[in-house]
Amino acid sequence: MESFMFENKTVLTGVKPTGKPHLGNYLGAIKPAIELGKEALSQGGKHYMFIADYHAINAEKNPAVLNEMTKEIACIYLACGLDPKKSYFYRQSDIPEIPEITTILYAYTPKGFMNKAHAYKAAVDKNREAGKPDDDGINMGLYTYPTLMAADILAYDSDIVPVGKDQVQHVEIARDIAGAINAHYGKELLKLPTYRFDENVAVVAGIDGRKMSKSYGNVIPLFEDDKAIKKAIFSIKTDSRPMEEPKNPDEILVYEIYKSIATPEQLQEMGDGLRQGKLGYGYIKNMLLDAVVNEIKDAREKYNYYMAHFNEVEEMLLEGAEKARPVAKATLKRLKDAVFGR
Ligand code: TRP
């Protein structure tokens, strides 16, 4: 059963262009998303992976920055193994049907859904904390964000949307909107999507022990040179105990981060060395560095290639959009026919 769960299913993921990912993004989001897509394809399912650049403009207004971030994210996914011949790989902004579908969905989206959406609520909370008016600096793009996301999902008859915890609510909103439209017209105009939230996906610790996150400034970069990776790894917090003192590996942050990337044998080696007082902090940091560089070096090389030959990537994205568009077009037509009684 389990092994054929993707047969005839459409799996769709959107990624916001956010610039170069760190180790936590890579292990916690990018790698599992690409693997899941491959699994779906191998079972006869379909896989959509797109860059949510319309979502990005709510926060980023500098075209040069936006363009660079979009380029980076496209190259990263290709470098990490996404196959644009097998998956549908495109930019959201290359599919004009998406904003059209969004407009129709608005008419079926209770405003209350948007009030409750967590991205909006988080922005309001932040304003309150800063003593500003609730809606200070909040644009309609951010406010209506879940409806655009619903269009992304519903346009392609998606069955499964793999998400992080923060996106579960958005998929539920998409499902509710689709359900309301189907109920109103008495037929299945839109496929009801489900989310897939993987509890087992790694949450990687950062170099200060908190969750690795750009906003904490505690990341291990990946798509930079070895020197930058080394610098971050050698800044991982350690204590001043001498090497000879036997240590509990579970109290050592380097070991904690190593867990997310090392093989069981490598992990055993570091654990034993710490317990027996045979490995110093410098040594184990080098072990971690080797593991990180080893994991990323091929992808990094491909990434650098794609960034230097972006015209090739641009072509792939346009081909992907051409492949995806007819599906979105068909959905839009179904909706318009029903809504306008054509
Ligand atoms: N909101 C998602 C995020 O911030 C990105 C996204 C946009 C998305 N549209 C989507 C994800 C559709 C899944 C499906 O990560």
174 C-alpha vs ligand 1 centroid, how far in Å?
A: 11
What percent of the chain has pLDDT above 90?
92
Q: Stretch 126-143: mean pLDDT, rounded? A: 96
297-to-74, 172, 256 alpha-carbon distances in Å: 18, 38, 22
What atom of ligand 1 comes closest to residue 162's alpha carbon?
13
Q: Stretch 306-330: mean pLDDT, rounded? A: 98
* Nearest of 13, 5, 6 to residue 29 by alpha carbon: 13
336 C-alpha vs ligand 1 centroid, how far in Å?
A: 24
- Superfamily of 10-204+310-339 according to CATH: HUPs (3.40.50.620)
Task: Name the amino acid, one letter, at 45.
Answer: G
4 C-alpha vs ligand 1 centroid, how far in Å?
A: 25
- C-beta of 16 in contact with ligand 1 (< 6 A): yes
- pLDDT score for 4: 77
46-to-8, 42, 157, 167 alpha-carbon distances in Å: 7, 9, 10, 21
- pLDDT score for 3: 60
pLDDT per position as a tens digit, 83-107: 999 999 999 999 999 999 999 999 9
pLDDT per position as a tens digit, 173-223: 999 999 999 999 999 999 999 999 887 777 899 999 999 998 899 999 999
List beta partners, residue 235.
Answer: none
Is the domain spanning 214-303 CATH 1.10.240.10? The answer is: yes
pLDDT per position as a tens digit, 4-49: 789 999 999 999 998 789 999 999 889 999 999 999 999 999 999 9
Contact yes or no for 118/124 (Cβ under 8 A): no
- pLDDT score for 133: 97
- pLDDT score for 226: 95
What is the bridge-based pairing of β-strands 194-197 and 88-91?
unpaired
Q: Stretch 296-314: mean pLDDT, rounded? A: 97
Mapping DSSP onto H, E and C, the string for 42-109 reads HCCCEEEEEECHHHHCCCCCCHHHHHHHHHHHHHHHHHCCCCCCCCEEEEHHHCCHHHHHHHHHHCCC
pLDDT per position as a tens digit, 249-285: 999 999 999 999 999 999 999 999 999 999 999 999 9
CA-closest residue to ligand 1 atom 10: 14
- C-beta of 118 in contact with ligand 1 (< 6 A): no
Assigned token pair, 135: 């809606």
List beta partners, residue 13.
Answer: 49
**Pairwise CA distance, residues 53 & 76, whole Å:** 15
134 C-alpha vs ligand 1 centroid, how far in Å?
A: 24
- C-beta of 153 in contact with ligand 1 (< 6 A): yes
- C-beta of 53 in contact with ligand 1 (< 6 A): no
Structural domain boundaries in the chain: 10-204+310-339, 214-303
Q: Is the pTM of this model over 0.85?
A: yes
56 C-alpha vs ligand 1 centroid, how far in Å?
A: 10
pLDDT of 2 over the 60 cut = no
- pLDDT score for 183: 98
The torsion region of residue 52 among left (phi > 0), alpha (psi -120 to 50) and beta comes to beta
pLDDT of 144 over the 80 cut = yes
The SS3 of residue 195 is strand
